[in-house]
Amino acid sequence: MKLLVRAALVAVTLAAWGVAASPASAAPVSPAVVGGTRAAQGEFPFVVRLSMGCGGALYSPTIVLTAAHCVSRTGTNTSITATLGSVDLQSSSRITVRSNYVYQAPGYNGNGKDWALIRLASPVTSLATLPLATTTAYDSGTFTIVGWGAASEGGAQQRYLLKATVPFVSDTTCNSRTMYNGEVIASDEICAGYASGGTDTCQGDSGGPMFRRDAGNAWIQVGIVSWGDGCARPNKPGVYSQVSTFAANIKAAAASLGG
């Protein structure tokens, strides 16, 4: 069954404190990228850790793209701390910046439209940003996933950024009876993972980017970590917000926030 995002956010919060949580609607939750390995320092400069226990991607020097289910509403918000620039969340060379505004996708109700923007109180100009996929041209192939979330279902949040690669799964396959049986919103969501399981994002990775190389060999964001049934289970791929669907809206919203 679909892991409800509200339950997931609570689980993430608890997991951040090392508390095991088991939403009634799902199997026990676990930590960050499952089946991953450590990312090298500087390998993915655009990856952001958010203090509510989510990931994000630096879209511009002042804007972080994350998941709608990681935030509660649109409006002034100075309570979120973004950590950037280090694979080690405890590194003395990490950058930390406060939020000053949150923009949640209009009409977000827990089904689809799982994107949000966080505006930073001061610009981060020392790190590369991650461009959005603006067409479906890159909505296939092999994707990179990253995060500080659980490394196994029900596991702890991670100190060091983990990475893995996962293959695209078509909407038809992802919505088949053995997989999500129609629960995936084809227009808004893109699936990725192995039918055999073993590699996936997990609790605490939400909001983080899924990305690949474009024709010019540059990284381009195709997904936002959204949901899954457990983590890395066979026939339960990760489900990601489909960035190409929302790219124009994200761009306009970012511009409206001045970034």
Q: Which is nearer to ligand ARG, 45 or 223 (CB)?
A: 223
> To the nearest whole angstrom, how small is the minimum distance from the Cβ of residue 200 to ligand ARG?
5
Q: Which is nearer to ligand ARG, 8 or 65 (CB)?
A: 8
> To the nearest whole angstrom, how small is the minimum distance from the Cβ of residue 207 to ligand ARG?
7
Nearest of 6, 105, 91, 96 to residue 50 by alpha carbon = 96
Catalytic residue among 30, 206, 226, 241: 206
> To the nearest whole angstrom, how small is the minimum distance from the Cβ of residue 101 to ligand ARG?
21
How remote is the C-alpha of 130 from its chain's centroid? Answer: 13
Q: Which residue is nearest to ligand ARG (CB)?
A: 228
Q: Which is nearer to ligand ARG, 35 or 149 (CB)?
A: 149
Query: What's the token pair of residue 234?
Result: 């066979």
**114 assigned to active site:** yes
Strand partners, 68: none
Nearest of 191, 182, 199 to residue 238 by alpha carbon = 191
Alpha carbons 9 and 188: distance in angstroms, whole number? 20
Q: Which is nearer to ligand ARG, 5 or 58 (CB)?
A: 5
Beta carbons of 73 and 67 less than 8 angstroms apart: no
Q: Count other Cβ atoms within 10 Å, centred on residue 229.
A: 19
> To the nearest whole angstrom, how small is the minimum distance from the Cβ of residue 168 to ligand ARG?
14
**206 assigned to active site:** yes
Catalytic residue among 30, 60, 99, 114: 114
Helix, strand, coil share (%) of the chain residues, nearest 5: 15, 30, 55
Q: Any idea what DSSP says for residue 200?
A: B
Q: Which residues bind ligand ARG (CB under 6 A)?
A: 5, 8-9, 12, 149, 200-206, 225, 227-228, 231, 238
Catalytic residue among 60, 69, 205, 229: 69
| Total residues found in the chain within this entry | 259
**188 assigned to active site:** no
Element (H, E) at 242: strand 238-242
> To the nearest whole angstrom, how small is the minimum distance from the Cβ of residue 227 to ligand ARG?
5
Q: Which is nearer to ligand ARG, 126 or 170 (CB)?
A: 170
- Which residues form the catalytic set? 69, 114, 206
